[in-house]
C-alpha cells in the first residue's frame, strides 16, 4: 500500500531529476551475508557469543554502531575498530556474494536512468558497496557512489547526501532519497530533499513514519509506479 504525505510544492506534477538510493534493504537483501560475517568476526576474536540474526536490526546502521551494540563497552574502542576491520575484509571476499537483488530493482533503475541521475549513499564501506553493485550488474546505473570511509568520513549519512548534492550540483527541490531505515529518511530530511521509505527491506512502516518519510512504498512495483506518476 502506497502512503503519500503531501507537502507544499509548486503547482504541477513533480519529477525528480536526481534520486539517491540506500543499498542494503533497498536495492539488495544482504541479510544472510551480514549475519554470517558478524558471526565470523566474533569467532575470529574468540568472543563466546552466538549472534542472533533473526531480528534483522543490524541492516542499516554503521559497522561501528553494530559492533558497539554487540560487544561489551568495557572491551574498549580498539576491539570495536578491530571487529570493523575484520568485517570489511571478510564481507568483501565472502559476504557480498551472498546478497540478492530485490525483484524489479534492475527495471526500476533502468527506467529512472532515462530521465534522472542516480546515486548510491550507503553506510557500507565505499569499496565494498562498489563491489556489490558490480557483482549484481547494477554499477552502470549510478553517477556516483559514496559510503563510509576508513577514517569515518560520511559515517553520518546526512553528510554523504550533502556532499553529493554539492559535488554534483543537484537541485534539492528535484531530488529524492529512497531507503528502508530511519537513517535514510533523516539524511534526506536534513538536506531538505523528498524522502521515500520502502517497507520491503528491513525497516518498519512505523519507523519510517516516525522519521517523517514523505511517501512509503511496500513493494518495488509501488516504488516504480510512484516515480512514473510523479505528484
pTM value is 0.82
Residue pLDDT, tens place only, 29-39: 988 888 889 99
Q: Which CATH number characterizes residue 179's domain?
A: 3.40.50.1000
Residues 152 and 79 in one domain: no
Band of the pLDDT at 9, cuts 50, 70, 90? very low
d(CA 59, CA 153): 19
Residues 18 and 105 in one domain: yes
Residues 203 and 138 in one domain: yes
d(CA 214, CA 194): 6
Residue pLDDT, tens place only, 16-52: 999 999 999 999 998 888 888 999 999 999 988 888 7
Contacts 24+ apart (CB under 8 A), 162-171: 162/190, 162/191, 164/20, 164/119, 164/121, 165/191, 165/193, 168/18, 168/117, 168/119, 168/143, 168/144, 170/17, 170/18, 170/117, 171/17, 171/18
Residue pLDDT, tens place only, 59-114: 777 788 888 888 876 678 889 989 988 988 888 788 778 889 999 999 999 999 99
Rounded to 5 degrees, φ, ψ at 69 are -80, -35
Residues 53 and 131 in one domain: no
Give the pLDDT score at 3.
65
Q: Which CATH number characterizes residue 77's domain?
A: 1.10.150.240
Number of domains observed in the structure of the chain:
2
Predicted confidence (pLDDT) at residue 178 exceeds the cutoff of 80: yes
Q: How many CA atoms lie within 13 A of 205 on its CB side?
A: 9
Give the pLDDT score at 12.
41
Give the domain-ending residue among 79, 98, 117: 98
Give the domain-ending residue among 98, 115, 137: 98
Show the domain range for 135. Answer: 3-30+100-229
Amino acid at each position: 500500500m502506497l502512503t503519500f504525505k503531501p507537502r507544499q510544492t509548486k503547482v504541477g506534477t513533480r519529477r525528480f531529476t536526481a534520486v539517491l538510493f540506500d543499498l542494503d534493504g533497498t536495492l539488495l537483501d544482504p541479510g544472510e551475508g551480514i549475519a554470517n560475517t558478524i558471526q565470523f568476526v566474533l569467532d575470529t576474536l574468540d568472543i563466546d557469543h552466538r549472534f542472533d540474526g533473526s531480528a534483522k536490526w543490524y541492516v542499516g546502521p554503521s559497522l561501528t554502531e553494530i559492533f558497539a551494540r554487540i560487544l561489551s563497552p568495557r572491551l574498549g574502542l580498539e576491539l570495536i575498530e578491530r571487529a570493523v576491520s575484520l568485517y570489511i575484509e571478510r564481507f568483501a571476499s565472502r559476504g557480498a556474494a551472498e546478497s540478492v537483488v530485490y525483484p524489479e530493482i534492475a527495471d526500476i533503475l533502468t527506467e529512472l536512468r532515462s530521465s534522472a541521475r542516480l546515486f548510491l549513499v550507503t553506510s557500507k564501506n565505499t569499496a565494498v558497496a562498489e563491489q556489490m553493485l558490480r557483482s549484481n550488474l547494477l554499477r552502470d546505473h549510478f553517477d556516483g557512489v559514496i559510503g563510509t570511509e576508513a577514517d569515518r568520513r560520511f559515517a553520518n549519512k546526512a553528510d554523504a547526501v550533502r556532499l553529493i548534492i554539492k559535488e554534483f550540483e543537484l537541485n534539492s527541490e528535484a531530488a529524492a532519497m529512497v531507503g528502508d531505515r530511519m537513517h535514510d529518511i533523516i539524511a534526506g530530511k536534513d538536506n531538505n530533499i523528498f524522502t521515500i521509505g520502502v517497507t520491503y527491506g528491513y525497516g518498519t512502516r512505523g519507523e519510517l513514519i516516525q522519521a517523517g518519510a514523505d511517501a512509503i512504498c511496500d513493494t518495488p512495483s509501488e516504488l516504480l509506479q510512484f516515480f512514473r506518476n510523479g505528484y
